[in-house]
Chains A and B, each alone.
Chain A
Amino acid sequence: MMLIPCPWCGPRNEIEFHYGGQADVHYPSDPRSTSDEDWAHFLFFRDNPKGVFTERWSHAAGCRRWFTVHRDTVTNEIHPDDSASAARTVTR
């Protein structure tokens, strides 16, 4: 069981969260001219590091906000995103 630090609610049990996969996967800026290969990479290809992985989580059973953390995939140690304070600005 992991204790995940929600930037709003503080550390909470893993079961309260929904996993959102790799962070910083950006929608292609010009989808019309994106090649099939690049489109496939955007849709399906993700890093799978042994070590620190930057990923998105949603506090589904709490404040329902998305946030970014750095998780070590070997030890499951989780560190808040450095810009977590910036992430506490309200987004809709």
Chain B
Amino acid sequence: MAEPYAESPLATYTEVLSRHSVPGRIDIAERPFVAQVDVRVDPKSPAAERIGTALGAMLPNQPGEVAVAGELSVLWLGPDEWLILGPEGSQETIQDTVNAALDGDHAAVVDVSANRTILSITGPKTRELLNKGCALDLHPRSFAVDRCAQTMLARAGVILVCRDTQLPSYWVIVRSSFARYVADWLADAAVEYGSGSG
């Protein structure tokens, strides 16, 4: 019998990303296999409240808001759409939790873990780097911790999440088929920050 085997979209890019990271200035790395579950439900329905209670954090109702409940993050993707992020392998548990809370009510709960991968970018030059390909104002004044935004980075659709404004640290959640393009773009954009680039 075959062994279960998983390869992240950027499995072959580990070396490229670390080579283009510059210690103390910019660090680019993949965070593979983060569990992702997409939930669509009427935000005003009792089911939405029950899901919030079951997850430990109400589904955020403000655009770009991220609710954190323990190991889970709930990202606002639209007025009736959320993306739940959880630790590797937790997608079935999350789905079961949400489905139990729904109790048969009308909603869509889909495991989209393989849809996107996450690029974690950390270091003082992060905002400068991202703003080379993204028109959003990433200053903490307008894009604080636990804010997310769906936008374009170097013409590729991404979800940006601010993880920390001090380091600072951001997540770029990108579709698998765009991951290598975005990784290449980030690596190229980071060249000017260090001499360790190829």
List the interface of chain A (C-beta within 8 A of B). Answer: 8-10, 12-13, 15-16, 61-65, 88, 90, 92
State which residues 56-82 of B face A: CB under 8 Å: 63-64, 77-81
24 pairs, A vs B, C-beta closer than 8 Å: A8-B63, A8-B79, A9-B63, A9-B149, A9-B150, A10-B63, A12-B151, A15-B152, A15-B155, A16-B151, A16-B152, A61-B151, A61-B157, A62-B149, A62-B151, A63-B63, A63-B77, A63-B78, A63-B150, A65-B78, A65-B79, A90-B42, A90-B43, A90-B44
Q: List A contacts of B64 (CB < 8 A).
A: 9
How many of chain B's residues have a CB under 8 angstroms from any CB in A? Answer: 17
Q: List B contacts of A8 (CB < 8 A).
A: 63, 78-79
Q: Which of B44, B78, B155 has the most CB of A within 10 A?
A: B78
Q: Are A62 and B150 in contact (CB under 8 A)?
A: yes
Q: List A contacts of B157 (CB < 8 A).
A: 61
Determine if B135 is an interface residue (Cβ-Cβ < 8 Å): yes
Q: List B contacts of A64 (CB < 8 A).
A: 78
Given A9-B63, A90-B42, 12 new contacts (CB under 8 A): A8-B63, A8-B79, A12-B151, A15-B152, A61-B151, A61-B157, A62-B150, A63-B63, A63-B77, A63-B150, A88-B79, A90-B43
Given contacts A15-B152, A63-B150, contact A90 B63 (CB under 8 A): no
Q: Give bound CA distance, A73 to B115, whole Å.
A: 39
Q: Give bound CA distance, A92 to B182, whole Å.
A: 32
Q: Are A90 and B79 in contact (CB under 8 A)?
A: yes
Q: Give bound CA distance, A51 to B91, whole Å.
A: 51
